[in-house]
Amino acid sequence: MRRIGIAALVVAVAVVAGAVTASQLRETPTTTAAIVAPTTSTLVAELPPVSVPSTTRAPAASTTTTTPAPPLVPVTVPEEPLPEPSAPDPGADQVFDGFGVVTVAAGGADLASTPGGPILVRAREGLVFPADAIDGSWVRILTTCDEVAWVPLEEVSAESVAPPFAAGAGGDFANAVIVVDAGHGGPNIGTASPDGMLPEKVVNVDIARRLRDLLERSHTVDWESGTLYEGDDVAPAQRVILTRVGVGDTADYEAGLIYRATLANAAGAHVLLSIHNNAGWEVELDHPGSDVYYQNQVDGSRRLAELLVEEFRRSFAAFDAEWVGAIESGAKSRISPRDEVSQYYGILRRAEMPAVIAEGAYLANESEAELLKTAAFRQAYAEAAYRAIVRFLTTDEVAAAPSYDPVVWAGFAGSGDPVDTCTVPAQEE
């Protein structure tokens, strides 16, 4: 066996934001159709006015060129995020050398407990696993259930760990590797809208996919207004990895916190953004109560969190809601009471790169839940995250957002450990 890698396979107790109660599990429908508002007319009627950007506004870059700028085309708000891209060709990148990640090729891949051993499951195409060793024609991976398994190299495409990225002015976004984590999944639903129709695990996936779609395309950004246009000022990121792959029901599976963080570490990700929506507010606010948790032991994480808070407030200002939040809302960090040093949240504790947990809006608040049922608001969430990541990786900007020093946190946030019934999503026959 050739050991090549990551050391983050240590099992530890893990926690995530958002306690799940038994009643939530019973009352919440498992259908993911609930992400769409009951009827189109209702949805449209409830949509707040979305500012329509001028198509004649010149991009900032046009002042430095003599060629006339083409008319700007606003980025549209898709009703649904794009379908899953087809799985990569296993023949294209089979040589696996160094730690990294593997993506299950079209048709699925057998997972075995040992190289050549009994098959545990035929894993679904498109799943991405962190990998840390090769033995002959087998590669060792960590499954979505936080378990070690082996997969034939010929049934996956392998990618090495990405080179480091110096976040800041001059950063080339075309080199950026970003892991977008949709919080919760499977029996861990997170919170839910008060009517029970929209579980957090579902809306998080939709937002994650919208963010992926933005990151994989080039844009021109009007940084004054925050409006995104089709254009070339910001290149597509080099690689965007989702921790939960699929649409609707196919994305509704458990993913352990060790898996999520290890995947980002093994990819050499330059940003890990975990998408959540909140419950348990303290007060009514006259502005969105977005909270973003940073990893205080990793340089840059706090700046990323502050930028994201600023961009959330900008994106959400276009919407009317009875906002709620914590008395102190903004960029925050929670420390475990066990040692008063390490991060409280399991995914941040393990992350080796600037990582944040975004609690964009309060899904448990009826007014904000109605917004989260609309494509326009979910797109605004994704666009805020997009702008924050671009600013973080390519500028030295520091946001003027509320920001708080780390605090020891003794609250209960629910366990993020996979339950006994956790299974790796299987390839359809």
Binding site for Zn ion (CB under 5 A): 17-18, 183, 190, 276
Residue type present at position 289: G
Q: What is the CA radius of gyration of the chain?
A: 21
Q: What angle do CA 348, 215, 33 make, to 5 degrees?
A: 80
- Closer to Zn ion by CB, 17 or 422: give it: 17
Give min distance, CB of 189 to Zn ion, in A: 9
- Closer to Zn ion by CB, 279 or 424: give it: 279
- Closer to Zn ion by CB, 219 or 350: give it: 350
| Alpha-carbon gap, residue 46 to 319, rounded angstroms | 11
Give min distance, CB of 255 to Zn ion, in A: 13
Give min distance, CB of 200 to Zn ion, in A: 5
Q: Are the C-beta atoms of residues 352 and 343 closer than 8 Å to each other? A: no
- Closer to Zn ion by CB, 134 or 351: give it: 351
Residue 273: strand, helix, or coil:
strand
- Closer to Zn ion by CB, 188 or 336: give it: 188
- Closer to Zn ion by CB, 19 or 69: give it: 19
Residue type present at position 408: V
- Closer to Zn ion by CB, 4 or 371: give it: 371
Give min distance, CB of 182 to Zn ion, in A: 10
| Alpha-carbon gap, residue 373 to 39, rounded angstroms | 11
Q: How far is CA 26 from the centre of its chain?
A: 26
- Closer to Zn ion by CB, 17 or 111: give it: 17
Give min distance, CB of 252 to Zn ion, in A: 14
Give min distance, CB of 99 to Zn ion, in A: 29
Among residues 317, 345, 323, which one has the least CA distance to residue 332?
Answer: 345
Give min distance, CB of 287 to Zn ion, in A: 21
Q: What angle do CA 226, 280, 261 make, to 5 degrees?
A: 65
Give min distance, CB of 293 to Zn ion, in A: 11
Give min distance, CB of 351 to Zn ion, in A: 16
- Closer to Zn ion by CB, 277 or 374: give it: 277
Neighbour-count burial of 98, counting CB atoms closer than 10 A to its CB (0-12 exposed, 13-18 middle, 19+ buried) = middle
| Alpha-carbon gap, residue 48 to 321, rounded angstroms | 9
Strands (E), 92-199: 100-104, 109-112, 119-123, 128-135, 138-142, 148-152, 156-160, 177-182
Q: CA 124 → CA 128, 143, 250, 280, 424, distances in Å?
A: 10, 12, 10, 36, 8
Among residues 195, 345, 183, which one has the least CA distance to residue 254?
Answer: 183
For residue 351, what are its two tokens?
């992350």
State in Å, rounded, how far the first CA of the chain is from the last one: 32
- Closer to Zn ion by CB, 276 or 314: give it: 276
Q: What angle do CA 402, 272, 334 make, to 5 degrees?
A: 45
Give min distance, CB of 272 to Zn ion, in A: 15
